Structure 1
Amino acid sequence: MAPGTVQLHIFSWNMKLAKYVKDGQPEKAMQLFQQMQQEGMSPDTFTFVQVINACAGLGALENGRLVHDQLIQSGCESNIFLGNSLVDMYAKCGSIEDAWRVFNKMPSRDVVTWTAMILGHCGSMEDAWRVFNKMPSRNVVTWTAMISGHVNCGQGQKALELFRQMQQEGVRPDSVTFVGVLNACASVVALEEGKCVHQQIVECGWDSDVFVANSLIDMYAKCGSMEDAWSVFNKMPSRDVVTWTTILGGCAMHGHGKEALKHFEQMREEGVQPNDITFICLLSACSHSGLVDEGMHCYASMVTDYMISAKLEHYTCMVDLLGRAGRLQEAKNMVMAVPCKPHVAAWMALLGACRIRGNVEMAERVAKRILEMEPNNAAVYVLLSNIYAAAGNRLLCENVERRRKENGVKKQQGRTWIEVNNEVHTFVVGDQDHPQMTEIHAELQRLSGLMHDAGYMPCTKFVLHDVEEEEQVLHLCHHSEKLAIAFGLINTAPGTPLRIRKNLRVCEDCHTSIKFISKIVGRAIMVRDANRFHHFEDGVCSCMDYW
């Protein structure tokens, strides 16, 4: 074969490889590479770049190492593109040591090299910062990687600070940056900041991008403003399955089950094919609204009409749906039908239903099963302790707490976020560090007196019984959501709605207290807990105490 023909032939192979990698089909790229070698074609630098990228897409570390060895043996000229691909591949495959070895041997590096290293360290932001601070220059991709890394690590406030710093340094955000920042706003319920970001998105012309618009819907829904979410949704010139699924997820979070069902029908009428995540959102919406028959119909339709096999998340939603409605035996049968093991999430949903329905006997058996699978699951101890406490069994409640401590299992600390004047403030249970804590406690004491006069009775049944009743009530007053609400009340104008987010399920006493507070102060208070949104207004919660 003439040299020109060989070059033309390798060019054709490379174009096919590049297309498979670009289209997200790394398996086909690897198969093509094997076929290419079987036919005696010698890969060039471009070939190796594509194959290394395919290994990165697959997370195939050993294959990546073999390709790296082959690259060295072939004598292909090493360049910055190959080096960047290798660093990226090793980082994405979880071998940061190999990534550093390649990085340190590279004769020259560019911003892509450094960014790949940052992305590889995003599981540990401390390490990512060390790389970031050493960079000679930074571009939008680098900044976006740091912003997204902080969001993924649950550090939404830090991500927002980085976004402001990025803009101060004159770096213009792109669509991926905006998606990361919107996710940060959603994570800490920073609605006002989210609206400012939305304005920037419009000014930059990214509001017509479906990817960005979907993130806007998600942000508004998670920040408690379904009105704004619907506004974005209704203005979109085109919608994909992610758009519909996101708005259905918002309906689920806010307990709008019937609205979710109505829009699911509209989605089907418009010819958009639902996927497995769509049905998770739909089933969740039915569960939070007590729509048992409708939920069961949706589940059956998913399997028979759309041929979507039920996953653990679908089973968990169904367990939650049946359990909340008091159909515990049917819920248990659903857990037993889950094909994948282990399935802790489904068992946890059943344990939560036992707590709601006060079924101590079933709760004990379920808790035992979960602890066999996950001995350090703190939520099991907390739920079982609450179930015993609600049943008035002080001894068993204390035994569970003692076992938890003996096994070294730590409970997750309650944490609440509130945005005031475009700044997010964080509170933890028993917080004493906030600079306005004296005023916060004074406001809580004022509210306590007004609530007592209005008929409020503290719910101490879930508080540990090894302290006096007065201490139990004091403990309830120091819950993070109450601190955040008091802070919001003394720092915002009368009538201003308050929006807070809590990392755990809101407790029964706080739920009752916030109903009283909303009526006393004449304010709407929105609480997003680990399960759903609660909209409190004039002494009533949108969940109608079904949560």
Structure 2
Amino acid sequence: MKLPAWLTAVPPDPRAYGHLIQLCAESGHLAAARQIHARLVAASVTPSNFLASKLISLYSRADRLRDARRVFDSIPQPSLFAWNAILISLSLHSPDPSAAVRLFASSAVSPDEITLSTLLRSLAASGPALSPLVTGELHAVAFLRGFGSDLFVSNALITAYANAGDMRSARAVFDEMPRRDVVSWNSLISACARACWYRECLDLFQEFVRVRCSDGDGVGPNGVTVTSVLHACAQLKVVDFGIGVHRFAAESGLDMDMLMEKQLKH
């Protein structure tokens, strides 16, 4: 991808450059994006939060975490948008699952729901390496900032608490949610299966099916749900329940061969 002549012949226009960087990110043209970035550096342009955030997202898509971090570090006063861009990049690509949380801890930024859900996903990936107290602190921040009932924050809280070994807090978050999607149900059901809360896993599945039938919105158990529930059935040796789950999956049009393959891996 060759840069248009007019781009190299005029002083940098942030909106034009931002648009081009976005196009490069969406089309996967990393080499062209690096030319644009080099042009900004040659013109001694300190990236604005707008341009820097675009560059961070671009390098993140290309799995170039070091480049993304260099851009972030060059911003005199990173905005929340820039912070979210680098935190998402760290949560996706850093070999240290807690890197995003540790970077954020050194800041004085007021988080939004994107910040919080990103940090919670990083905590979940860290597992018991970080205390559930850290998840509790972010939970308190979410509540104080008015994001306690946000769907994505709540889903991330369920997984973060469960992966830190605090299943009771994970269940409490689920029970307090004003609205749930399939991710909410699957997060708790799979967490119960991993934590050996097998009976709770089956009870949740039955509740999920009832909710689907009463709501009629089409949101119901999927392959992820069924895999976790079949694992719980095998552990409890409840053959009849397992047959019922298998029948439900078949009637719902789920790929039984794929589900059985996943179950064998368990």
TM range (shorter): 0.7 to 0.9
Instruction: Please tell me the root mean square deviation across aligned C-alpha atoms, in Å.
Output: 2.9
Counterpart among 24, 28, 32 of residue 98 in structure 1: 32
| Kept after mapping to 2: 8 A contact 1:154/1:187 | no
| Kept after mapping to 2: 8 A contact 1:214/1:243 | yes
264 and 85 in structure 1: CA distance in 2 versus 1, 3 angstrom threshold: farther
| Kept after mapping to 2: 8 A contact 1:87/1:100 | no
Alpha-carbon deviation of 1:208?
1.2
Alpha-carbon deviation of 1:242?
1.5
- 2: CA distance, partners of 1:96 / 1:233: 41
Q: Which residue matches 2:23?
A: 89
Q: Which residue matches 1:540?
A: none
For residue 122 of structure 2, what is the amino acid of its counterpart?
A
Q: Which residue matches 2:121?
A: 183
Give 1 or 2: higher helix fraction: 2
For residue 127 of structure 1, what is the amino acid of its counterpart?
D
| Kept after mapping to 2: 8 A contact 1:179/1:215 | yes
Q: Which structure 1 residue ranges, 5 or more long, are not aligned?
A: 1-64, 73-77, 322-547
104 and 289 in structure 1: CA distance in 2 versus 1, 3 angstrom threshold: farther
Q: Which residue matches 2:48?
A: 110
129 and 290 in structure 1: CA distance in 2 versus 1, 3 angstrom threshold: farther
Matched-pair identity in % = 24
| Kept after mapping to 1: 8 A contact 2:198/2:236 | yes
Q: Which residue matches 1:538?
A: none
1:383-394 → structure 2 map (5 Å cutoff): none
Q: Which residue matches 1:222?
A: 163
Alpha-carbon deviation of 1:129?
2.0
1:307 equivalent in alignment to 2:259: no
Alpha-carbon deviation of 1:282?
2.8
1:188-267 → structure 2 map (5 Å cutoff): 188=126, 189=128, 190=130, 191-267=132-208
292 and 82 in structure 1: CA distance in 2 versus 1, 3 angstrom threshold: farther
TM value normalised by structure 1: 0.41
Alpha-carbon deviation of 1:297?
4.0
- 1: CA distance, partners of 2:198 / 2:241: 9
- 1: CA distance, partners of 2:96 / 2:223: 29
Give the 3-state SS of the residue equivalent to 1:267 in structure 2. helix
For residue 244 of structure 1, what is the amino acid of its counterpart?
W
1:145 equivalent in alignment to 2:85: yes
88 and 280 in structure 1: CA distance in 2 versus 1, 3 angstrom threshold: farther
282 and 89 in structure 1: CA distance in 2 versus 1, 3 angstrom threshold: farther
288 and 142 in structure 1: CA distance in 2 versus 1, 3 angstrom threshold: farther
128 and 266 in structure 1: CA distance in 2 versus 1, 3 angstrom threshold: same
Aligned length: 246
Give the 3-state SS of the residue equivalent to 1:166 in structure 2. coil
| Kept after mapping to 2: 8 A contact 1:256/1:289 | no
1:317-336 → structure 2 map (5 Å cutoff): 317-320=262-265
131 and 291 in structure 1: CA distance in 2 versus 1, 3 angstrom threshold: farther
310 and 95 in structure 1: CA distance in 2 versus 1, 3 angstrom threshold: farther
Q: Which residue matches 2:65?
A: 125
| Kept after mapping to 2: 8 A contact 1:156/1:184 | yes
1:526-545 → structure 2 map (5 Å cutoff): none
Alpha-carbon deviation of 1:203?
0.7
| Kept after mapping to 2: 8 A contact 1:218/1:229 | yes
- 2: CA distance, partners of 1:92 / 1:290: 49
266 and 132 in structure 1: CA distance in 2 versus 1, 3 angstrom threshold: same
Give the 3-state SS of the residue equivalent to 2:72 in structure 1. helix
- 2: CA distance, partners of 1:115 / 1:262: 44
Greater Rg by CA: 1
| Kept after mapping to 2: 8 A contact 1:287/1:320 | no
TM value normalised by structure 2: 0.79
Q: Which structure 2 residue ranges, 5 or more long, are not aligned?
A: 7-11, 213-218
| Structure of higher RCO (CA pairs closer than 8 Å, 6+ residues apart) | 2
**Deviation string, structure 1 residues 141-161 (Cα, Å, up to 9, x no partner):** 222222232222341332221
**Deviation string, structure 1 residues 463-493 (Cα, Å, up to 9, x no partner):** xxxxxxxxxxxxxxxxxxxxxxxxxxxxxxx
| Kept after mapping to 1: 8 A contact 2:24/2:32 | yes
Q: Which residue matches 1:281?
A: 228
Give 1 or 2: higher strand fraction: 1
| Kept after mapping to 2: 8 A contact 1:216/1:229 | yes
